[in-house]
Amino acid sequence: MSLLPITLYGDKILRKKTSNVLDVDFYTVKLIKEMFETMKNASGIGLAANQVGANKQIFIVDLSAIEGYEQSKPIVFINPKIETFSEEKIVMEEGCLSIPDVRAEVERPKNVVIKYFDTNMQEQELEADELLARVIQHEFDHLQGVLFIDRITDEVKKKLKKNLNKIKQRKIEFDYPVTEHVDYQLL
């Protein structure tokens, strides 16, 4: 297996809705394994397929590196659909491997119920709360072309503008492989 380069803020694939997975073949299994390796190398707890350049409705979550979640098992979500969101919302700080060194407070529903397919293409349903619910929503957003910075106020986003432009231009140091520099219109 190998590490995959992570797409960065400004890469067009992060803004496109991903395509459904029709079957889990050798290449899909390889992609999922490499996603876990890439996420772990970058000290992440969630990763969507489009964050490694794959146009697929897949994201992974592994909270086992987080205190209090050491017993959690890694989960692969294929063709996920969030069925319900709780009315109760909570605010937590979020970050993203595609937007390194940028963090912001984001309000999201406290609980979700998600349906998805596992790697055997068996339909599953999961009720999640707190951190797991947050990571699921964050990664699900990626598959829709939505980033966590789309869920913050314009005032906060304005404060982050300089850092976001540095990321687009690849003018910061990265601790993990990232996609090649591509010129995009700045904010």
Summarize pLDDT for 78-102 with one digit per residue, the tens.
999 999 999 999 999 999 999 999 9
Does the pLDDT value for residue 185 go beyond 60? no
Q: What pLDDT is recorded for position 180?
A: 81
Residue 155 is among the residues annotated as catalytic for this protein: no
- Whether 39 maps to a domain, the answer reads yes
Number of domains in the chain: 1
- In 3D, which of 157, 110, 166 has the Cα closest to residue 136? 110
- Whether 161 maps to a domain, the answer reads yes
- Whether 1 maps to a domain, the answer reads no
Which tens digit of pLDDT belongs to each residue from 97-116?
Answer: 999 999 999 999 999 999 99
Q: Read off the CATH number of the domain in which 30 is found.
A: 3.90.45.10
What is the model's pTM?
A: 0.94
Tokens of 162: 């300089």
- Whether 5 maps to a domain, the answer reads no
- Whether 50 maps to a domain, the answer reads yes
Catalytic residue among 139, 155, 173, 180: 139
Q: Which residues contact 1 (CB under 8 A, 6 or more apart)?
A: 30, 33, 34, 37
Buried-exposed string 71-97: b where 16+ CB fall within 10 A, e elsewhere: ebeebbbbbbebeeeeeeebeeebbbb
Which tens digit of pLDDT belongs to each residue from 145-178?
Answer: 999 999 999 999 999 999 999 999 899 888 999 9
Tokens of 27: 């290449």
- Whether 182 maps to a domain, the answer reads no
**Rounded average pLDDT over 43-70:** 96
pLDDT over 70 percentage in the chain: 96
Does the pLDDT value for residue 182 go beyond 80? no
Residues of the domain holding 23 = 12-168
- Whether 70 maps to a domain, the answer reads yes
**Rounded average pLDDT over 20-43:** 97
- Whether 6 maps to a domain, the answer reads no
Partner residues linked to 117 by β-bridges = 78, 123
